[in-house]
Structure 1
C-alpha cells in the first residue's frame, strides 16, 4: 500500500487552485470595473477620481497576482507530475500507466 506522493499532493493542490482561480479572477475583474465606474462618475471631484484610479490599479494588481500564481502552480504541476492530471476539473482521463486523454 502506498501513501500520497509529492506529485499527487501537487496535482491535488493545483486542481483546487484551478477551481478557485476563476472565482477570484472574476471578483478582481469586478473590482477593476467598479474602479472604472467610480472614476467615470467622479465628474469634477479630483479626490473621487483619485480613489477610482486607486481601485483600478489594485484591481489590475489583483488580476496579475491571481493569474501569475495560477500559471506558476500549473508549471510546478507539470514539472512534478508531468502529465495532464493537474487539470482534473477539465475531464482529463488518465490510465494507470500514465497516459492522459482530455477533451479536444
Structure 2
C-alpha cells in the first residue's frame, strides 16, 4: 500500500565530503600524535587570515553587481520588466554585502574575544615531556 521512499545522497556530494574529511583528518594528525603543541590561536588565526583575504574580493564582486544593476535600471527606460530585474540585482547585491561584512565582523569579534593577534595565546591540551621509550 505504502511505498518505501529512499533518500539518497548524490555520489558527487559524497566524494566532496570524503575529500573534505580526509583533509580535515590530515590537519588533525599532529595533534593526535602529540607531535607538536598547537594553539587555538593558530587555528582561529588561519580562519581569520582566510576571511581577511576573501572578504575584499567578495565585496568588490558584489559592488560590481550593484553598479551593474544601477546601469541596468537607468538603461531600462520605461520597460518595467527590465527595471524590476535590475532592482532585484541591486537588492541581492546589497544583501550579499551585508552578509559578507557581517561574517567579517563576526570573525573579527571572535578573534578579539580569544585574543588572537595579541600576545595572549591559548594552548591546547597536550603532554609535554612525555617520552614512551
Give the TM-score, by structure 1 length: 0.76
Larger Rg: 1 or 2? 2
Count of matched residue positions in the alignment of Structure 1 and Structure 2: 86
**Structure in which a larger fraction of residues adopt helix:** 1
Query: Are 1:67 and 2:94 matched, yes or no?
Result: no
Query: Are 1:23 and 2:57 matched, yes or no?
Result: yes
The root-mean-square deviation of aligned C-alpha atoms, in Å, is: 1.6
Q: Distance in 2 between matches of 1:62 and 1:34?
A: 14
1:7 alignment partner, SS class: helix
1:46 aligns with 80
- Runs of at least 5 residues in structure 1 that lack an aligned partner in the other structure: 86-97, 100-104
Runs of 4+ in 1 over 3 A off after TM superposition: none
Query: Are 1:33 and 2:54 matched, yes or no?
Result: no
Give the TM-score, by structure 2 length: 0.60
